Amino acid sequence: MTAIYSRIAIIGIGLIGSSVALAARRAGIVDHIVSCDSDPEVAPEVKHLGLADSFTADAVEAVADADLVVMSVPVGAIGALAAQIMPAMKPGAVLTDTGSTKRSVVRDVTPHVGDGIHWIPSHPLAGTEHSGPGAGFPDLFKGRYWLILPGEVPEVEVARFEAFVTAMGAVAERMDADYHDKVLALTSHLPHLIAYTIVSTAVNLESQLKNDVIRFSASGFRDFTRLAASDPVMWRDVFINNDEAVLEMLQRFSEDLSDLQRAIRWGERDKLESLFHRTREIRRSIIDAGQS
């Protein structure tokens, strides 16, 4: 396949960054990949895994002559990173991110965007609980949505970026920042918050009970521990930067939880069964949509 971008720079070689490198390489849509991470000790692993053609710990050096720059760092660090690299980016280059919040990213990055730079915020809806260069794999984005915020960027550049993500197996979908943050607050951020809370409750149990909770973990609790094992820094930044939408969804959840408590207390069998039937249909819809 013909290269879509000749030279790309990926800043942050964790799960998403390394997966972009592997997927783009396999698809043949780049000629040269520059990897960059603030931890220089990552370099040997990047070389061993064949993630890039070159490595640097200097973000300014990484973006020089890049046609596409992918900022794959925690959302709390994206604004400062954009301010650092922007003067070194060449006119006509595309700048994107992979952050889980979009209003904060748009707010923090946009003031630094120079003339001639095409700023396209984005978010791949893909991930695992693992992190680091070794966590990536080329099929991470296969069949998963990659949300794109076109903004004021020329259509030809947006379409080119969409071609890049679809070539890696993703499904490109356009969305605005406010709607993105509300949707993700419920589909991703709130479930992680609940998982962290449930696992924290287990940690705070008296020692013998806690040991038995771990020893006899049923599949439901194991699923929560998978979510709760996700990158702490990334999720700290997500909750701080999408606080309004998360708190709104948390309030709705709290109200629904109170209704469920009352139904259990008063033995409202029909109400419970009706709820479980409705929620079961959601799972079936997710499977039908190919997002399971």
Does 267 lie in the same domain as 213? yes
Q: What is the CATH number of the domain that holds 10?
A: 3.40.50.720
**Are residue 277 and residue 139 in the same domain, yes or no?**
no
The single residue listed with the structure tokens 């609980």 is 129
Q: Do 128 and 257 reside in the same domain of the chain? A: no
Tokens of 151: 């903004």
pLDDT of residue 229: 87
Are residue 110 and residue 188 in the same domain, yes or no?
Answer: no
- Residue 170 shares a structural domain with residue 192: no
Residues 75 and 104 in one domain: yes
Model pLDDT, residue 260: 92
Which residues of the chain register pLDDT less than 70? 218-219, 292
Identify the bridge partners of residue 69 per DSSP, sorted by sequence position.
9, 95
By the 8 A CB rule, do 149 and 120 touch? yes
Residue 169 shares a structural domain with residue 190:
no
User: Are 160 and 186 contained in the same domain?
Assistant: no
- Same structural domain, 184 and 136: no
In which domain, by residue range, is 209 found?
A: 179-288
* Cα(125)–Cα(189) distance, integer angstroms: 12
pLDDT at 166: 98
How many Cα atoms occupy the beta-carbon half-sphere of 63 within 13 Å? 25
pLDDT at 220: 76
Q: Cα(12)–Cα(164) distance, rounded to whole angstroms?
A: 19
Q: Which of 175, 199, 221 is the last residue of a domain?
A: 175
pLDDT for 16? 96
Which of 143, 175, 207 corresponds to the end of one domain?
A: 175
Instruction: Based on the fold, state whether residues 144 and 220 are members of the same structural domain.
Output: no
| The dihedral formed by the CA atoms of 231, 194, 286 and 180, expressed in degrees to the nearest 10 | -70
Kindly report the CATH number assigned to the domain that includes residue 232. Answer: 1.10.3660.10
For residues 64 and 207, state if they share a domain.
no
- What is the 3-state secondary structure of the chain? CCCCEEEEEEECCCHHHHHHHHHHHHHCCEEEEEEECCCHHHHHHHHHHCCCCEEECCHHHHHCCCCEEEECCCHHHHHHHHHHHHHHCCCCCEEEECCCCCHHHHHHHHHHCCCCCEEECEEECCCCCCCCHHHCCCCCCCCCEEEECCCCCCHHHHHHHHHHHHHCCCEEEECCHHHHHHHHHHHHHHHHHHHHHHHHHHHCCCHHHHHHHHHCCCHHHHHHHHHHCCCHHHHHHHHHHCHHHHHHHHHHHHHHHHHHHHHHHCCCHHHHHHHHHHHHHHHHHHHHCCCC
Q: 149, 175, 201 — which closes off a domain?
A: 175
Residue 292 confidence (pLDDT): 63
Q: How many domains does one find in the chain?
A: 2
Work out the number of other CB atoms within 10 angstroms of the CB of residue 74: 20
